Protein backbone atom coordinates (compact mmCIF):
# COMPACT_ATOMS: atom_id res chain seq x y z
CA UNK A 1 0.00 0.00 0.00
CA UNK A 2 1.37 3.36 -1.02
CA UNK A 3 1.19 6.26 1.40
CA UNK A 4 0.66 9.80 0.22
CA UNK A 5 1.15 12.94 2.23
CA UNK A 6 -1.72 15.43 2.23
CA UNK A 7 -1.10 18.99 3.34
CA UNK A 8 -3.91 21.22 4.56
CA UNK A 9 -3.04 24.91 4.55
CA UNK A 10 -4.35 27.13 7.30
CA UNK A 11 -4.02 30.80 6.51
CA UNK A 12 -5.67 34.12 7.13
CA UNK A 13 -7.52 35.47 4.12
CA UNK A 14 -6.25 38.90 3.15
CA UNK A 15 -6.47 41.38 0.30
CA UNK A 16 -3.13 41.38 -1.51
CA UNK A 17 -1.63 44.55 -2.93
CA UNK A 18 -0.52 42.73 -6.08
CA UNK A 19 0.01 39.28 -7.57
CA UNK A 20 3.64 39.06 -6.44
CA UNK A 21 2.67 39.60 -2.81
CA UNK A 22 -0.03 36.95 -2.98
CA UNK A 23 2.19 34.51 -4.84
CA UNK A 24 4.95 34.85 -2.24
CA UNK A 25 2.42 34.39 0.57
CA UNK A 26 1.05 31.15 -0.94
CA UNK A 27 4.46 29.85 -2.02
CA UNK A 28 5.60 29.80 1.62
CA UNK A 29 3.02 27.10 2.29
CA UNK A 30 3.84 25.19 -0.90
CA UNK A 31 7.58 25.19 -0.09
CA UNK A 32 6.90 23.90 3.41
CA UNK A 33 4.60 21.21 2.02
CA UNK A 34 7.25 20.22 -0.51
CA UNK A 35 9.81 19.66 2.26
CA UNK A 36 7.33 17.21 3.82
CA UNK A 37 6.95 15.41 0.44
CA UNK A 38 3.32 16.45 0.13
CA UNK A 39 1.55 15.15 -2.98
CA UNK A 40 -1.84 16.79 -2.37
CA UNK A 41 -2.00 20.35 -1.03
CA UNK A 42 -5.40 21.73 -0.01
CA UNK A 43 -6.00 25.44 0.46
CA UNK A 44 -8.90 26.62 2.66
CA UNK A 45 -12.31 27.75 1.57
CA UNK A 46 -12.39 31.24 0.05
CA UNK A 47 -8.62 31.50 -0.39
CA UNK A 48 -9.29 31.71 -4.13
CA UNK A 49 -10.95 35.04 -3.40
CA UNK A 50 -7.52 36.49 -2.65
CA UNK A 51 -6.57 35.93 -6.29
CA UNK A 52 -9.95 37.15 -7.50
CA UNK A 53 -9.41 40.34 -5.48
CA UNK A 54 -6.53 41.22 -7.80
CA UNK A 55 -9.05 41.93 -10.56
CA UNK A 56 -11.06 44.45 -8.54
CA UNK A 57 -10.08 48.02 -9.40
CA UNK A 58 -10.86 51.54 -8.35
CA UNK A 59 -10.28 53.84 -5.43
CA UNK A 60 -12.59 51.96 -3.10
CA UNK A 61 -10.89 48.63 -3.74
CA UNK A 62 -7.51 50.28 -3.22
CA UNK A 63 -8.65 51.67 0.12
CA UNK A 64 -9.87 48.24 1.20
CA UNK A 65 -6.49 46.73 0.30
CA UNK A 66 -4.71 49.47 2.23
CA UNK A 67 -7.00 49.00 5.25
CA UNK A 68 -6.27 45.27 5.22
CA UNK A 69 -2.58 46.01 5.87
CA UNK A 70 -3.39 46.63 9.56
CA UNK A 71 -4.29 42.95 9.98
CA UNK A 72 -0.79 41.79 9.06
CA UNK A 73 1.19 40.39 11.97
CA UNK A 74 4.37 42.22 10.97
CA UNK A 75 2.71 45.59 10.25
CA UNK A 76 4.57 48.55 11.71
CA UNK A 77 2.92 51.29 13.73
CA UNK A 78 3.01 53.60 10.69
CA UNK A 79 1.47 50.94 8.43
CA UNK A 80 -1.30 50.33 10.96
CA UNK A 81 -1.97 54.08 11.24
CA UNK A 82 -2.18 54.46 7.45
CA UNK A 83 -4.42 51.40 7.26
CA UNK A 84 -6.74 52.86 9.90
CA UNK A 85 -7.07 56.07 7.87
CA UNK A 86 -7.71 54.07 4.70
CA UNK A 87 -10.32 52.00 6.51
CA UNK A 88 -12.08 55.14 7.68
CA UNK A 89 -12.06 56.57 4.16
CA UNK A 90 -13.33 53.27 2.77
CA UNK A 91 -16.20 53.37 5.24
CA UNK A 92 -17.10 56.96 4.34
CA UNK A 93 -17.05 56.10 0.63
CA UNK A 94 -19.10 52.96 1.18
CA UNK A 95 -16.42 50.59 -0.08
CA UNK A 96 -17.61 47.00 -0.18
CA UNK A 97 -15.42 44.10 -1.32
CA UNK A 98 -18.46 41.99 -2.18
CA UNK A 99 -19.78 44.66 -4.53
CA UNK A 100 -16.34 45.16 -6.09
CA UNK A 101 -15.99 41.44 -6.70
CA UNK A 102 -19.52 41.26 -8.09
CA UNK A 103 -18.68 44.07 -10.52
CA UNK A 104 -15.53 42.27 -11.64
CA UNK A 105 -17.45 39.01 -12.11
CA UNK A 106 -20.05 40.75 -14.26
CA UNK A 107 -17.68 42.92 -16.30
CA UNK A 108 -14.56 40.73 -16.49
CA UNK A 109 -15.42 37.11 -15.56
CA UNK A 110 -12.60 35.67 -17.67
CA UNK A 111 -10.03 37.86 -15.90
CA UNK A 112 -11.28 36.69 -12.50
CA UNK A 113 -11.04 33.02 -13.51
CA UNK A 114 -7.60 33.58 -15.05
CA UNK A 115 -6.32 35.25 -11.86
CA UNK A 116 -7.32 32.21 -9.80
CA UNK A 117 -6.31 29.48 -12.26
CA UNK A 118 -2.96 30.97 -13.25
CA UNK A 119 -1.85 31.39 -9.64
CA UNK A 120 -2.82 27.98 -8.28
CA UNK A 121 -1.86 26.06 -11.44
CA UNK A 122 1.59 27.65 -11.31
CA UNK A 123 1.99 26.49 -7.70
CA UNK A 124 0.97 22.94 -8.65
CA UNK A 125 3.25 22.87 -11.69
CA UNK A 126 6.26 24.43 -9.98
CA UNK A 127 6.12 22.14 -6.94
CA UNK A 128 5.01 18.97 -8.74
CA UNK A 129 1.96 18.33 -6.59
CA UNK A 130 -1.80 18.31 -6.88
CA UNK A 131 -3.31 21.52 -5.52
CA UNK A 132 -6.91 22.05 -4.48
CA UNK A 133 -7.32 25.79 -4.83
CA UNK A 134 -9.36 27.53 -2.21
CA UNK A 135 -12.86 28.25 -3.40
CA UNK A 136 -13.91 31.44 -5.12
CA UNK A 137 -16.96 32.82 -6.83
CA UNK A 138 -16.46 32.17 -10.54
CA UNK A 139 -18.60 32.14 -13.63
CA UNK A 140 -19.30 28.64 -14.94
CA UNK A 141 -19.86 27.53 -18.55
CA UNK A 142 -23.56 28.48 -18.34
CA UNK A 143 -22.72 32.03 -17.29
CA UNK A 144 -23.96 31.56 -13.72
CA UNK A 145 -21.82 32.71 -10.79
CA UNK A 146 -21.04 29.75 -8.56
CA UNK A 147 -18.93 28.98 -5.51
CA UNK A 148 -16.23 26.78 -7.08
CA UNK A 149 -13.03 25.06 -5.94
CA UNK A 150 -10.59 24.05 -8.67
CA UNK A 151 -8.03 21.21 -8.70
CA UNK A 152 -4.66 21.46 -10.48
CA UNK A 153 -1.84 19.02 -11.00
The C-alpha atoms of residue 83 and residue 145 are separated, in whole angstroms, by 31
pLDDT (tens digit per residue) in 66-122: 777 767 677 777 777 777 776 776 667 776 777 887 888 888 999 999 999 999 999
Domains of the chain (ranges, CATH numbers) = 5-55+97-152 (3.60.110.10)
Cβ-based neighbours of 29, under 8 Å, separated by 6 or more = 7, 9, 11, 41, 43
User: How far apart are the C-alpha atoms of 29 and 24, rounded to whole Å?
Assistant: 9
Strands 130-132 and 151-152: antiparallel
pTM of the model: 0.80
Amino acid sequence: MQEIVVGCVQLRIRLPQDREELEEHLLRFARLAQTKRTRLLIFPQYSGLMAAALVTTGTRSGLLRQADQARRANASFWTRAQAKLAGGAAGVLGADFGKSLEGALIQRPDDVREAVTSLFSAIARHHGMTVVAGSAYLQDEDGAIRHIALVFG
